[in-house]
Amino acid sequence: MTIFSDGFESGDFSAWTGISGSPSPTVTNTSPLQGAYSATATKTNGVGGTSYKTISAIGTLYAGTYVKWDANPSSGKVHSFMQIQTGGFQIGVYNVSGTIKWACYIGAWQTSNISNPTNNTKYWVEIYFDKNTSNGWMKVDGVTVLSGLSCANVDITTFRVGAVYVTTDTITFTWDRCIVSDVYIGPESSYSPKTRSSLPNTMTTLLNSKILFS
């Protein structure tokens, strides 16, 4: 069941509990990640603009967002764009000796060697936590990049997206399709059905290939 969902199509942050950080985040129709609007925030060093949602305490949670950033962190630096629980678990990207890696903070930063993200690219990033197990994971575009994550027996009550934390560099985050659920969410389907106009061409191809149907 979906607990919270917003794609900023209202043109504002009215679906959220609030916004925080400085400079404040904004909703824009310039190069949206989905639909007509996305949220964006720029920050240099520190806690930047975010949108946050307070939810009823839940021990098993799936949370995801579309995200894009315009500059990768410099070596040894990390930029986080999603936070589950205030002061708690962060999701972002980490520059490890020149290699950009997906990262999750739970007491310490854990990094992935499965896929290397890059700036100016749209990603669907989803996190799963169960307070009773250590089977949590982080998926990017439906592919697991980190596993064995534990939320340390903590109920989740806050979902935050944006310029959660930026170390030293100046970066602009854009985010969209923000969802919290108690079941797997996943990226949008890329399925595109054939249109009626494509049927004649398909039939011609079949006939030319001498395919018979009985």
The pLDDT assigned to 143 comes to 95
Q: Give a yes or no: residue 189 inside a domain.
A: yes
Q: Which of 140, 114, 115 is nearest to 127 (CA)?
A: 140
Q: Give a yes or no: residue 196 inside a domain.
A: yes
- Please report, rounded to a whole number, the percentage of residues in the chain having pLDDT higher than 70: 86
Torsion angles phi and psi, residue 206, rounded to 5: -65, -45
Spell out the alpha helix ranges (H) of 53-196.
none
Integer Cα distance of 165 and 45 in angstroms: 7
Q: Which residue has the higher pLDDT, 200 or 174?
A: 174
- Whether residue 58 is predicted with pLDDT greater than 60 in this model: the reply is yes
Q: Which residue has the higher pLDDT, 145 or 204?
A: 145
The pLDDT assigned to 213 comes to 38
Q: Give a yes or no: residue 121 inside a domain.
A: yes
Question: Which DSSP helix (H) or strand (E) runs through 36?
Answer: none
Q: Give a yes or no: residue 161 inside a domain.
A: yes
Provide the residue range defining the domain that includes 185.
2-208
Q: Give a yes or no: residue 62 inside a domain.
A: yes
Q: Where are the beta strands (DSSP E) in the chain?
A: 2-6, 18-20, 26-28, 38-46, 50-58, 60-69, 78-84, 89-96, 99-105, 109-111, 123-130, 136-140, 143-149, 156-181
- Tally Cβ neighbours within 10 Å of residue 13: 19
The pLDDT assigned to 214 comes to 40
pTM: 0.85
Q: Give a yes or no: residue 213 inside a domain.
A: no
- Please report, rounded to a whole number, the percentage of residues in the chain having pLDDT higher than 90: 66
What is the CATH classification number for the domain harbouring 29? Answer: 2.60.120.200
pLDDT, tens digit, 9 for 90 and up, residues 141-177: 999 999 998 776 778 899 999 999 998 889 999 999 9
pLDDT, tens digit, 9 for 90 and up, residues 63-87: 999 999 999 999 999 999 999 886 6
One-letter amino acid for residue 16 of the chain: W
Count structural domains, the chain.
Answer: 1
Q: Which residue has the higher pLDDT, 196 or 91?
A: 91
Contact partners, residue 209, CB within 8 Å, separation at least 6: none
pLDDT, tens digit, 9 for 90 and up, residues 96-129: 999 999 999 988 899 998 878 999 999 999 999 8
Q: Give a yes or no: residue 135 inside a domain.
A: yes
CA atoms within 13 A on the CB side of 127: 27
Integer Cα distance of 101 and 95 in angstroms: 6
- Whether residue 27 is predicted with pLDDT greater than 70 in this model: the reply is yes
Query: Which sign, positive or negative, has the C-alpha torsion 189, 56, 130, 126?
Result: positive
The pLDDT assigned to 209 comes to 39
The pLDDT assigned to 76 comes to 93
Q: Give a yes or no: residue 214 inside a domain.
A: no
The pLDDT assigned to 179 comes to 97
